[in-house]
Amino acid sequence: MSVNSSPAVVRVPRDSRNREIHAAQVRLLYGNGNVGVVVTVVAATVLGRLQWRVIPHAVVLGWWLCMFLVAAARFTLGWRYRRVAPLSLEAGVWGTAFTIGAGLAGVAWGAAGVLLNPEDHLENQVFLAFILGGMMLGAAPLLAPLPKAFLAFMLPTGVAPAVRFIVQGDEAHLAMGLLAGLFVAATLITTRRIHLTIVSSLNLRFENQDLVDDLQAAKSHAEALNEQLEVRVQERTAELQQSTQHLKTVISQREQMEEELLRARKLESLGVLAGGIAHDFNNFLAVVQGNVELAMMQLGRNRPVRAILEKTQSACQRAAMLSSQLLTFAKGGQPVRQVVSVAKLVTDAVDLVRAGAQTSIELNISEDLKSAEVDPGQIVQVLHNILLNARHSMPDAGIIEVHAENILIAGAQGADNRVRISIRDFGCGIPADVMPRIFDPYFTTKPSGRGLGLATAYAIIAKHGGSLSVESKPGHGTVFTIDLPASLAIPAPQVPAVSEILPGTERILVMDDEEGLRVLLKTLLRSLGYEVETARDGAEAIALCEDAIVCGKSFDAVLLDLTVNGGMGGLETVSRLKEIDPSVRLIVSSGYSDATVMSNFRKYGFDDVLPKPWRITEVSQVLRRVLARAQDRKAQSGS
């Protein structure tokens, strides 16, 4: 192992250093540029106002306008320089541009010494000389970093008035001209010294930077030498145990890789398994729930049996909620969004948790709270889960504080409007060793818990583009904070919920790969007055639609299952059905909430959506809603 004797220090070439110094000079010029522009405009305005009485107005206005345009151009040049932040190689171009601007300003001031010099008003002439001298003196420190810029300003500003005074010939003006020339020479000498001081300071700064770089390189080299020496000692010390240790390391690494691979496969399959189970479970649950409701409709007032069926129906609803939680943190469960009032969502969730609880909930909602484009059912589920956790953390009652407000979060893309909902309890808090796992699925500290509440809440908020965070201190309580993207849109008016079952007489086609669902829907819809046919998959549905059109008895609506095992599903069928009968109404149904279809069904050609498991009222209402829209369109086209 070789060791370098000294660090490699790269020296900056002289030409490159000169370019860096010149670039620093130009930066100083532009850094002071706005001061000169402001002073120029103010001084020009004051001078023009004073000479207004003794100089023709057109001359004063013309000169002031010229001065203002030059100042505006210099300001624009400075603004452009600061925006583009040019490299040192471009400093020459920017320095030349600044020099031209300074020269134009100097010419304008020199013109003032000639055009605004009243021959019969000595006091105005003295004030003019005072203004010009002040401008030269003020420009000295501002323009000293670049001599050519100062010369471009100084010579026309100082020489033109001096020559004008001398040309007048009398003793007073001759003295004024000579003094003006002397002032110009003195200012040039002073500015030269300031310039040399600036250049010396810049040289010293870069030399100090070189020294710092050299010291840093030497330090790094010393550290490298030290590390190399330590490696040598370790290599010599470990030679006797090298073969045995190597074998142990290889075995340990292999076992660790196998464990990590097994853990990754388990986690990867968890979402797929949960989604697949929930999808099939929803299909079976729809059959059970639909048959229970159908039996309740036919039993009428048979109270003993009806009570049993109502308990079964309640169990089905709880099972549907569990299935929804499985879908939420699996690969599906995408929100079906709409613009809603966040204040109403929070109020509804709080009212639901308040019912029958000893815990007091204090609600504080900002009056100007913005809306949000969310899935209202999923967000209420999140709030309900967190509020229940807060209530359970205080078994002896207590207070839960709920706040909702608008916030503004600064980000890389600019300010982001958000709605923040915070839920604070003063219960036992969350232990530090438990905190990292509270959002993991199936992790729970409750004996009767399933470990899905917070995991579901976290997945829902993430899929809405928001964030869910928690702060807790054992013994002092917990705060959950939900941030959701705000919406400036106004929520649509709430349509009163219709709980009655709506009949119909239209022709309906039901496509589903589950035979139990097909039989159930056929029985149900026929009991409501519809004419119903069923199909196992999309191919059979297409064939039935073609035959129906040939017979002059086309279907008014088609209910399509999204996923068909081993056959054509709803997504593959929709375009073909639209080609066969453009007027047919299509409804997509699935036990799995797919992101691109169930939440954006219109984008894929469907007219409505019916998630599984459904209730009889939901089926009847979706059909009436779709068929009513179809009738409205026919009426409009006929009129």
**Per-residue pLDDT reduced to its tens digit, 92-106:** 788 788 888 888 888
Distance separating alpha carbons of residues 383 and 377, to the nearest angstrom: 10
Structural domain contains residue 401: yes
Query: Measuring CA to CA, which residue among 192, 136, 123 is closest to residue 162?
Result: 136
Say if residue 407 is in the same domain as residue 516: no
Q: What is the DSSP string of 275-344?
A: HHHHHHHHHHHHHHHHHHHHHHHHHTT-HHHHHHHHHHHHHHHHHHHHHHHHHHHSS------EEEEHHH
Q: pLDDT value at position 543?
A: 93
Same-domain check for residues 343 and 449: yes
pLDDT over 70 (residue 191): yes
Indicate whether 461 and 543 sit together in one domain. Answer: no
Please say if the pLDDT value at position 3 is more than 50. no
Q: Is residue 327 in a domain?
A: no
Residues 6 or more apart whose CB falls under 8 angstroms from that of 94 comprise: 26, 30, 81, 86
Same domain, 465 and 517: no
Burial string for 612-638 (b: 16+ CB within 10 Å, else e) reads: bbbbbeebbbbbbbbbeebeeeeeeee
| From 59-63, 142-146, 329-333, the region with the lowest mean pLDDT | 329-333
Residue showing tokens 């013994």: 475
Domain identity same for 477 and 513: no
> Domain check: are 34 and 172 in the same one?
yes
CA distance 496 to 482: 29
Ramachandran region, residue 180 (left: φ > 0; alpha: ψ -120 to 50; beta: rest): alpha
The residue among 191, 211, 231 that closes a domain is 211
Q: Is 143 exposed, middle or buried (0-12, 13-18, 19+ CB in 10 A)?
A: buried
Q: How many other C-beta atoms lie within 10 A of the C-beta of residue 475?
A: 9
For residue 308, give every residue at least 6 positions away whose Cβ sits within 8 Å of its Cβ, in sequence order, or none. none
Final residue belonging to a domain, choices 161, 192, 211: 211
Cβ atoms 392, 353 nearer than 8 A: no
CATH of the domain at 537: 3.40.50.2300
Report if residue 316 sits inside a domain. no
Return d(Cα 386, Cα 391) in angstroms, integer. Answer: 9
Q: Are 562 and 592 in contact (CB under 8 A)?
A: yes
Give residue-wise pLDDT tens across range 239-264.
767 777 877 877 877 875 665 455 44
Q: Give yes or no: residues 200 and 76 share one domain.
A: yes
Is 575 in the same domain as 475? no
DSSP 544-582: HHHHHHHTT---SEEEEES--TTS--HHHHHHHHHHH-T
- For residue 23, tell me if it sits in a domain: yes
Total domains present in the chain: 3
As a whole-number percent, the residues of the chain with pLDDT over 70 amount to 78
Q: Please choose, from the candidates 139, 145, 116, the residue with its C-alpha nearest in 3D space to the C-alpha of residue 128.
A: 116
Over its C-alpha atoms, the chain yields an Rg (Å, rounded) of 42
Tell me, yes or no, whether 124 and 69 share the same domain. Answer: yes
CATH number (domain holding residue 403) = 3.30.565.10
Q: Which of 230-244, 402-416, 570-584 has the highest mean pLDDT?
A: 570-584
pLDDT of residue 412: 57
Dihedral pair phi/psi, residue 522, rounded to 5°? -65, -45
**What pLDDT, in 10s, does the model give residues 36-53?**
788 888 888 888 888 888
**Residue 398 in this model has a pLDDT that exceeds 90:** no
Summarize pLDDT for 298-314 with one digit per residue, the tens: 776 666 766 666 667 66
Which tens digits make up the pLDDT trace of 446-462?
Answer: 655 566 678 778 878 88
φ and ψ at residue 200, rounded to 5 degrees:
-65, -40
Helix, strand or coil for residue 170? coil
Instruction: Provide mean pLDDT across the span 495-519.
Output: 81
Q: What angle do CA 266, 271, 272 make, to 5 degrees?
A: 95
**Domain-located, residue 71:** yes
**Averaged over 136-159, what is the pLDDT?**
78
Retrieve residue 502's tokens. Answer: 């709506």
Answer yes or no: do 410 and 479 share one domain: yes
Between 54 and 419, the more confident residue is: 419
Task: Establish if 256 belongs to a structural domain.
Answer: no
Alpha carbons 607 and 601: distance in angstroms, whole number = 7
| Partners of 522 in beta bridges | none
574: closest CA among 92, 631, 564, 121? 564
End-to-end CA distance of the chain: 94
Query: Is pLDDT above 90 for 633?
Result: no
Whether 302 and 567 have beta carbons less than 8 Å apart is answered as no
The domain of 103 spans: 14-211
Domain annotation covers residue 555: yes
pLDDT of 509 reads: 94
Cα–Cα distance, 435 to 472 (Å, whole number): 8
Tokens describing residue 335? 């929100």
Residue type, 189: I
Whether 98 and 201 map to the same domain: the answer is yes
Residue-wise pLDDT for 217-233, tens only, equals 888 888 888 888 888 87
Residues 467 and 570 in one domain: no
* Residue that finishes a domain, picked among 187, 211, 235: 211
Asked if residue 132 is part of any domain, the answer here is: yes
Judge whether 323 and 285 are in contact, CB under 8 Å: yes
Q: What is the dihedral of CA 509, 514, 515, 520, to 10 degrees?
A: -60
Which of the four pLDDT bands, split at 50, 70 and 90, describes residue 558? Answer: very high
- 3-class secondary structure, 486: coil
Q: Is the pTM of this model over 0.85?
A: no
Measured between alpha carbons, how far is residue 327 from residues 270, 452, 576, 587, 600 in Å?
Answer: 11, 11, 30, 21, 17
Cα–Cα nearest to 321, from 281, 273, 270: 281
